[in-house]
Amino acid sequence: MSIETQVINIDGMTCGGCVKSVDSALTQLDGVQSVEVDLEGNKASVAYDSSAVAVDAIVEAIEEAGFDAVVAGE
C-alpha cells in the first residue's frame, strides 16, 4: 500500500453543502484514506492509496459531483 497526498483545485464550491458533496463523493472511492476540503481555498487535500485508486478517478468523482476540478500544479 502506497499512501500519497494530492491537492485538487476545485471551482464552483460556494457553501458548506458543496464541501459535503465533494467530501462524500471522495470518501466513497475505494482507496481514499482521508479528505480535507478547504472552501475558502477552493481545494481539497486527498490522502489515497495509489495502488487502489488513480488521481484521475478522484478528479472525475469531483466533476461528477458538479464541480470543476484539476490537480494542483497542472
C-alpha cell at 63: 466533476
Note the pLDDT tens digit of each residue in 2-60. 899 999 999 999 999 999 999 999 999 999 999 999 999 999 999 999 999 999 999 99
Could you tell me the residue ranges of all domains in the chain? Answer: 3-71
CATH classification of 3-71 is 3.30.70.100, yes or no?
yes
pTM of the model: 0.94
Tell me what pLDDT residue 61 has.
Answer: 98
Paired residues of 24 in beta bridges: none
Query: Cα–Cα distance between 4 and 26 in angstroms, integer?
Result: 15
